[in-house]
């Protein structure tokens, strides 16, 4: 039986919401399948996360970037966070599609490797068989909402890998080898030192690069500046601790390099839209009392 947050109609629509927010590198938000009616439309709408549709049958049009992109069966389309789009099914041959809404610290680079971006939202697989592999992986996620969160995230990583490996627009790894090396070094340094008050210059120096070149390289790879990434990474770790532990908010603040709890609260609110204490009250996932000293 479907959960209250799921919609399930055997012949027309399957829709599921993923409710576990503990995952940082990749997280799922909602996913589903639909056989649409003629001229069925959605939008204009701005998304908070990445949203990918794979068209199983029929055809329709994506309206984005003040352009119209006709999309037919065997292809897909990607909507980026913050991008306003509308998509409309054909009047005589409406599409059937499956979709996944996702985000995470590792997503931007995978999307780029697949050859997708704001100026290239249309996804073309290498061949028919490659498209079927991607479709089947997406439908597996849609049809197994009862799997554990860890298993679902694992399936999400398989989807992300197929999105890249099956893409006709896949960028060659060999052309990115040196940049990938620097990014792995930078991410490793951040993961091991985010609890300290590290600077962008320190990260760049660790990679053996000057700050200006490092900043450009990082933005090209990750889709955001090193400063923004470091902020989001720290706040994601803080959010995880707010949900999973009863540590005082002041302690969590210090553990993500914020000696001043007020500054931490402002930074957290800039990312999550609410203060740390409010976030904890809504998301705490362990039994027991939590502290009340937060901002």
Helix axes 276-283, 261-272, angle to 10 degrees: 60
Specify whether 38 is located in the same domain as 178.
Answer: no
- pLDDT band of residue 288 (cuts 50, 70, 90) is very low
Q: Do 48 and 131 share a domain, yes or no?
A: yes
The confidence score (pLDDT) of residue 105 equals 77
Judgement on whether residues 114 and 28 belong to the same structural domain of the protein: yes
> What pLDDT, on the 0 to 100 scale, is given for residue 274?
93
Are 131 and 26 part of one and the same domain?
yes
* Same domain flag for 215 and 254: no
Question: Which residue, 223, 241, 256, sits at the end of a domain?
Answer: 223
Given a cut of 50, is residue 290 above it in pLDDT?
Answer: no
Cα 260 from Cα 182, distance rounded (Å)? 32
CATH assignment of the domain containing 67: 2.60.120.10
In a domain, 126, yes or no: yes
Residues 41 and 156 in one domain: yes
The Cα 223–Cα 226 span in angstroms is: 10
My answer on whether 210 and 288 are in the same domain is: no
Question: Is residue 33, in this structure, part of any structural domain at all?
Answer: yes
Residue 286 lies in a domain: yes
| 140 assigned to some structural domain | yes
Do both 43 and 158 map to the same domain? yes
| Residue 145 to residue 35: CA distance in whole angstroms | 19
Q: Which of 116, 143, 165 is the last residue of a domain?
A: 165
Confirm if 276 and 264 have CB atoms less than 8 A apart: yes
Rg (CA), the chain: 21
Host domain of residue 40: 7-165
Distance from the first to the final alpha carbon of the chain: 40
Both 181 and 116 in a single domain?
no
- Final residue before a domain boundary, out of 142, 165, 188: 165
- Domain total in the chain: 3
Whether 25 is in a domain gets the answer yes
Helices 211-222 and 226-244 meet at what angle, rounded to 10? 60
pLDDT at position 229 = 93
Q: How confident is the model at residue 20 (pLDDT cuts 50, 70, 90)?
A: low
Span 44-83, pLDDT tens digits: 999 889 999 999 999 999 999 899 999 999 999 999 998 9
pTM of the complete model beyond 0.95: no
Residue 254 lies in a domain: yes
Kindly state the tokens that stand for 224.
């955001």
pLDDT at residue number 7: 52
**148 and 47 assigned to the same domain:** yes
Evaluate whether residue 268 is within a structural domain.
yes
Average predicted confidence (pLDDT) for the chain = 87
| 35 and 133 both lie in a single domain | yes
Are 150 and 23 members of one domain? yes
Does position 287 have pLDDT exceeding 50, yes or no?
no
The model's pLDDT over 183-217, given as tens digits with 9 standing for 90+, comes to 889 999 999 999 999 999 999 999 888 999 999 98
Mean pLDDT (whole number) for 126-148: 95
- Say which CATH number the domain at 183 has: 1.10.10
Report how far apart, in Å, the C-alpha atoms of 260 and of each of 171, 245, 295 are: 43, 20, 11
Q: What is the mean pLDDT of residues 20-35?
A: 81
Are 170 and 120 in contact by the 8 Å Cβ rule? The answer is: no
Cα-Cα-Cα-Cα dihedral sign, residues 131, 72, 81, 218 = positive
Could you tell me the CATH number of the domain that includes residue 261?
1.10.10.60
pLDDT in tens, 94-110: 999 999 999 987 788 88
Would you say residue 30 lies in a domain?
yes
């Amino acid at each position: 039986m479907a959960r209250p947050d799921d919609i399930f109609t055997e012949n027309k629509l399957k829709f599921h919401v993923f409710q576990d927010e503990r995952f940082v590198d990749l997280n799922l938000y909602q996913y589903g399948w639909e056989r649409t009616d003629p001229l069925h439309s959605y939008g204009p709408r701005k998304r908070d996360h990445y949203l990918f549709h794979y068209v199983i049958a029929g055809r329709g049009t994506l309206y984005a970037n003040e352009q119209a992109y006709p999309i037919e069966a065997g292809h897909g389309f990607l909507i980026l966070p913050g991008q306003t789009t509308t998509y409309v099914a054909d009047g005589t041959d409406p599409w059937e599609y499956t979709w996944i809404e996702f985000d995470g610290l590792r997503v931007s680079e995978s999307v780029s490797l697949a050859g997708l971006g704001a100026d290239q939202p249309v996804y073309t697989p290498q061949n028919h068989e490659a498209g079927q592999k991607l479709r089947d992986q997406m439908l597996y996620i849609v049809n197994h909402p009862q799997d554990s969160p860890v298993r679902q995230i694992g399936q999400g990583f398989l989807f992300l890998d197929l999105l890249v490996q099956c893409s006709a627009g896949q960028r060659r790894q060999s052309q990115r080898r040196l940049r990938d090396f620097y990014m792995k070094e930078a991410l490793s340094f951040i993961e091991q030192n985010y609890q300290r008050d590290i600077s962008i210059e320190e990260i760049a120096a660790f990679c053996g690069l000057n700050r200006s070149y490092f900043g450009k390289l990082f933005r090209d790879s990750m889709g955001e500046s090193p400063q923004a990434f470091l902020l989001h990474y720290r706040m994601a770790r803080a959010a995880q601790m707010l949900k999973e532990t009863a540590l005082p908010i002041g302690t969590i603040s210090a553990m993500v390099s914020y000696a001043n709890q007020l500054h931490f609260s402002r930074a957290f609110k800039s990312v999550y839209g609410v203060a740390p204490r409010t976030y904890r009250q809504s998301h705490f996932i362990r039994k027991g009392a939590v502290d009340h000293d937060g901002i």
